[in-house]
C-alpha cells in the first residue's frame, strides 16, 4: 500500500473512532441519568399526592368526629329518628329546621359527596343534599346488622366499595347522648371522583403524564378514575390490559406496597412509573410518563451527534488528504524520476521547490542528471571523460545512499507521526481538538521547512477548525431554544430584565451605558428564554454603539389586543431599512467581523425564542440615529 494511502486511512480512522465512541457513551449516560431523574421526580410527586390524600381524609375524619359533640345533633337526632314515621308532626319539622340551620351546605364545606345522619336502626333521617333525600327513611349505604355493631364502637372507614354502580368511601362515627347511649350515626360519603380530584394534578409529568387511581375488588383491579389515553373509559370499570405488567404495580399499590420502575401501561406503551398505597385500605395510585417523552431530549442529542460525526468525518478526510499529499508528493516525484532516468531519459527533471531535506535531495538529483548527460554527450578527451564519468558514478552512488537514507528517515518520521496521532486522539476528549492539535504538531515539526503554499494549507486547516468550533458553539446555543425549553409559567418581566442586565453588568460598565425601563407586566412564558431574549437584545445595543456617544437603552411595554408588545430602544449606529428582514437570518452580518466580532446568530436566537412563544419580532431604525426592536408575547 502507498504511503499516501496508508497515512490517509490511519488519520481518518484515528479521528472517527473517538467521535463515535464519545457519542455512544454520551447517549447511554444521558439515558441512564434521565431514567434516574424521572423515577426520582415521580417518587416525589407520588409522595406529595399521598400526603395530600392523607390531609384531605384526616380533615374529613376530624370534621365528622366533631359532630359527636354538636348540641343540635345530640338534642334532635333521637327526635327525628322516632318521628320519621309521622312526617306531619310539628316536632319533626322544628327538629329538622334546627339541624338544617347548622348543617345546610355541610357536604360542600367538607368537599364530600354527601353527609347523612342515620338512626340507630340504620335509616337515613337527614341529609343537607336535597337530591339525596330520596334515601330518606331508607337504609343507609352498607348499613348491615354487622356493620351497625361495628359502627357503634367508634370511628369507621370503609374500603373503596361499589355502591349502586359508584365506588365510594364511607366515614362513620357513632353519636351518643350524655348517658353514653347510642342515638345514631354521622356518615360522610365520598365518591371516587372527589378522591381523584384531590390527587389528579399531573403538573410536572409532561404531555403523556397521568395519575391513575384504582381499587382492589376481590381478585380484580378496578379503575375508578378517568384514563387519559382511553377516553371512552371514564372510570369504574375492569380493563383488559395487553401487557399484564401494569397489573403488578396496581396490585402492589392496593395491597400496601410502594414502588417504581419501567413497565408497560394499560395500552401497552413503555412507561416510567411510581406507585403508592393510599390511606384507604384497598386503594392505590400510579403516576406515569411515557419513555418516548422522557427520552426525547436524548434522541435529539443523538441525532445531533450523528450529524456532528458526519461533519467531523468530512473535515478529517479533507485534512488527511491534504497532509498526506504534502508529505508524499515529493517522494512520488523523486521515485518517478529515478525510473525515467534509469530508462535513459536524461532530459527529465524532478523540479521540486520544497526547502526541506526532500527538496534538497531532488535538486541534487536533477544536478546529477544534468551532469550525467554532459558526460555522455562529451566527445572530448576520452581519458578525462572516463575519469569524470567514474567521478560522476561515484557521486551517483553517494547520492543514492543519501536518497535511501532520506527515504528511511521519512518512513521513520511517518511512523513516529502515526504513533503520535494515535496517542493524541485517545488523550484529547474533544474530536475537533484532535484534528486541530494534529495539524499544529505537523506544522511545528516542519516549521521553516515547508514552502509558502504548504504553510497556507496548514493555516487553512487551523483556521477552519477554529471557525468550526465557534460555529458548533453557536449552533448548540440555537438548538437549546428547543431542547432546553421549559413549560410556560407566570413571572414578573421586571425580574427577568434585572437578571439580564446583571449578566451584562461588566459590559454596561465598560461602555458607560445607561439602561432605563418602564414598569413591565407579569407574563406567562418561559422565564429563562425571556431572560436570554432581553440579554441578546441588550448585547446587540451595547455592541453596535456610536463611538462618540455612550449607549442609552430604554425598555418599555404596551398592552394590545394581541398581547404584550415589548420594545428595546437604543441610540446606536442604526440599520438601513433594506436590511430589516435580513438581520434575523442565521449567520447574516451587516458589518465586518473586525469591527464588530461575533457569529451573526444572536438575533436568530431572539426570533426563534419569540416564534416558540407564538409571537413576532420586528425592528424600526434609522442609520446614525438608533434602533428600536419590538417583540410580541401573546
Does residue 61 belong to any structural domain of this protein?
no
> Could you tell me the CATH number of the domain that includes residue 186?
3.30.450.20
310 and 398 belong to one structural domain: yes
> Could you tell me the CATH number of the domain that includes residue 253?
3.30.450
497 and 620 belong to one structural domain: yes
Does residue 36 belong to any structural domain of this protein?
no
Q: What is residue 398's predicted lDDT score, i.e. its pLDDT?
A: 75
> Is it the case that residue 123 has pLDDT exceeding 70?
yes
**449, 476, 503 — which closes off a domain?**
476
396 and 449 belong to one structural domain: yes
**476, 497, 524 — which closes off a domain?**
476
Does residue 62 belong to any structural domain of this protein?
no
336 and 353 belong to one structural domain: yes
> Is it the case that residue 128 has pLDDT exceeding 80?
yes
CB 389 within 8 A of CB 373: no
Spatial CB neighbours of 44, under 8 Å, sequence gap ≥ 6: none
Q: What is residue 517's predicted lDDT score, i.e. its pLDDT?
A: 94
How sure is the predictor about 429, in pLDDT bands with cuts at 50, 70 and 90?
A: very low
467 and 493 belong to one structural domain: no
Q: List the single range of 260-264, 317-321, 437-441 with lowest mean pLDDT.
A: 317-321
Over residues 590-613, the pLDDT tens digits come to 655 555 656 677 788 899 999 989
Over residues 214-237, the pLDDT tens digits come to 887 776 778 888 777 775 554 545
Q: What is residue 616's predicted lDDT score, i.e. its pLDDT?
A: 92
- Surface-to-core class of residue 525, CB atoms within 10 Å of its CB (0-12 exposed, 13-18 middle, 19+ buried): buried
370 and 464 belong to one structural domain: yes
Domain of residue 334, residue span: 3-27+298-476
Q: In what order do the strands lie in the sheet with 514-517?
A: 514-517, 552-559, 564-570, 626-633, 617-622
| Average pLDDT rounded to a whole number, residues 458-465 | 71
DSSP assignment of 165-187 equals TEEEEEEEEEEE-TTS-EEEEEE
- The per-residue b/e assignment along 529-542, b for 16 or more CB within 10 angstroms, e otherwise, is bbbbbbbbbbbbbb
220 and 332 belong to one structural domain: no
306 and 289 belong to one structural domain: no
Does residue 105 belong to any structural domain of this protein?
yes
How sure is the predictor about 581, in pLDDT bands with cuts at 50, 70 and 90?
A: confident
Does residue 143 belong to any structural domain of this protein?
yes
Please count the structural domains in the chain.
4
Q: How much is the pTM?
A: 0.45
| pLDDT: which is higher, 271 or 134 | 271
457 and 415 belong to one structural domain: yes
| pLDDT: which is higher, 15 or 97 | 97
**144, 167, 195 — which closes off a domain?**
195
> Could you tell me the CATH number of the domain that includes residue 525?
3.30.565.10
The Cα 251–Cα 256 span in angstroms is 9
| pLDDT: which is higher, 542 or 328 | 542
> Is it the case that residue 454 has pLDDT exceeding 80?
no
Does residue 563 belong to any structural domain of this protein?
yes
Q: What is residue 165's predicted lDDT score, i.e. its pLDDT?
A: 78
| pLDDT: which is higher, 434 or 232 | 434
Amino acid at each position: 500500500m502507498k504511503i499516501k494511502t496508508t497515512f490517509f486511512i490511519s488519520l481518518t480512522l484515528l479521528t472517527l473512532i473517538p467521535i463515535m465512541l464519545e457519542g455512544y457513551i454520551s447517549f447511554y449516560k444521558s439515558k441512564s441519568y434521565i431514567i434516574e431523574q424521572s423515577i426520582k421526580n415521580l417518587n416525589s410527586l407520588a409522595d406529595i399526592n399521598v400526603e395530600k390524600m392523607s390531609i384531605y381524609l384526616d380533615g374529613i375524619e376530624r370534621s365528622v368526629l366533631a359532630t359527636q359533640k354538636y348540641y343540635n345533633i345530640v338534642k334532635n337526632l333521637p327526635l327525628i329518628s322516632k318521628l320519621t314515621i309521622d312526617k306531619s308532626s310539628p316536632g319533626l319539622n322544628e327538629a329538622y329546621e334546627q339541624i338544617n340551620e347548622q348543617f345546610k351546605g355541610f357536604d360542600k364545606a367538607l368537599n364530600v359527596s354527601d353527609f347523612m345522619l342515620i338512626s340507630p336502626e340504620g335509616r337515613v333521617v337527614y341529609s343537607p343534599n336535597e337530591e339525596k333525600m330520596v334515601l330518606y327513611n331508607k337504609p343507609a349505604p352498607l348499613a348491615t346488622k354487622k356493620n351497625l355493631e361495628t359502627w357503634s364502637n367508634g370511628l369507621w372507614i370503609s374500603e373503596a366499595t361499589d355502591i349502586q354502580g359508584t365506588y365510594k368511601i364511607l366515614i362513620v362515627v357513632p353519636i351518643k347522648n350524655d348517658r353514653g347511649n347510642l342515638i345514631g350515626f354521622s356518615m360522610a360519603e365520598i365518591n371516587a371522583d372527589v378522591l381523584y380530584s384531590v390527587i389528579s394534578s399531573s403538573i410536572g409529568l409532561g404531555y403523556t403524564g397521568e395519575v391513575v387511581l384504582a381499587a382492589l375488588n376481590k381478585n380484580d383491579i378496578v379503575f375508578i378514575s378517568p384514563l387519559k389515553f382511553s377516553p371512552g373509559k371514564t372510570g369504574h370499570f375492569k380493563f383488559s390490559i395487553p401487557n399484564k405488567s401494569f397489573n403488578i404495580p396496581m396490585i402492589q399499590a392496593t395491597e400496601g406496597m410502594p414502588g417504581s420502575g419501567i413497565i408497560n401501561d394499560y395500552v401497552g406503551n413503555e412507561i416510567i412509573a411510581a406507585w403508592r398505597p393510599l390511606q384507604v385500605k384497598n386503594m392505590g395510585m400510579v403516576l406515569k410518563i411515557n419513555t418516548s417523552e422522557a427520552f426525547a431530549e436524548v434522541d435529539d442529542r443523538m441525532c445531533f451527534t450523528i450529524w456532528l460525526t458526519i461533519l467531523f468525518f468530512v473535515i478529517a478526510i479533507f485534512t488527511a488528504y491534504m497532509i498526506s499529499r504534502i508529505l508524499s508528493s515529493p517522494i512520488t516525484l523523486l521515485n518517478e524520476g529515478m525510473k525515467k532516468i534509469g530508462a535513459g531519459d536524461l532530459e527529465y527533471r524532478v523540479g521540486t521547490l520544497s526547502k526541506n531535506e526532500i527538496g534538497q535531495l531532488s535538486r541534487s538529483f536533477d544536478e546529477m542528471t544534468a551532469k550525467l548527460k554532459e558526460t555522455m554527450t562529451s566527445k572530448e578527451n576520452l581519458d578525462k571523460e572516463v575519469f569524470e564519468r567514474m567521478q560522476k558514478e561515484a557521486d551517483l552512488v553517494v547520492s543514492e545512499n543519501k536518497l535511501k537514507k532520506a527515504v528511511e528517515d521519512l518512513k521513520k518520521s511517518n511512523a513516529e507521526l502515526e504513533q503520535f496521532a494515535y496517542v493524541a486522539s485517545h488523550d484529547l476528549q474533544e474530536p475537533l481538538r484532535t484534528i486541530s492539535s494534529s495539524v499544529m504538531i505537523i506544522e511545528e515539526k516542519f516549521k521553516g521547512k515547508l514552502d509558502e503554499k504548504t504553510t497556507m494549507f496548514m493555516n487553512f486547516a487551523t483556521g477552519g477548525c477554529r471557525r468550526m468550533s465557534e460555529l458548533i458553539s453557536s449552533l448548540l446555543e440555537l438548538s437549546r431554544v428547543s431542547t432546553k425549553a421549559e413549560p410556560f409559567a407566570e413571572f414578573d418581566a421586571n425580574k427577568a430584565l434585572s437578571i439580564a442586565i446583571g449578566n451584562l453588568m461588566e459590559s454596561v460598565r465598560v461602555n458607560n451605558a445607561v439602561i432605563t425601563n418602564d414598569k413591565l407586566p407579569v407574563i406567562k412564558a418561559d422565564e429563562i428564554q425571556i431572560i436570554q431574549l432581553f440579554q441578546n437584545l441588550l448585547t446587540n445595543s451595547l455592541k453596535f454603539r456610536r463611538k462618540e456617544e455612550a449607549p442609552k437603552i430604554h425598555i418599555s411595554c404596551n398592552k394590545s389586543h394581541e398581547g404584550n408588545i415589548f420594545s428595546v430602544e437604543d441610540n446606536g449606529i442604526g440599520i438601513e431599512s433594506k436590511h430589516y428582514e435580513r438581520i434575523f437570518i442565521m449567520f447574516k452580518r451587516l458589518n465586518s467581523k473586525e469591527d464588530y466580532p461575533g457569529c451573526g446568530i444572536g438575533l436568530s436566537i431572539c426570533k426563534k425564542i419569540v416564534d416558540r412563544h407564538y409571537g413576532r419580532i420586528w425592528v424600526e431604525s434609522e442609520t446614525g440615529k438608533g434602533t428600536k426592536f419590538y417583540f410580541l408575547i401573546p
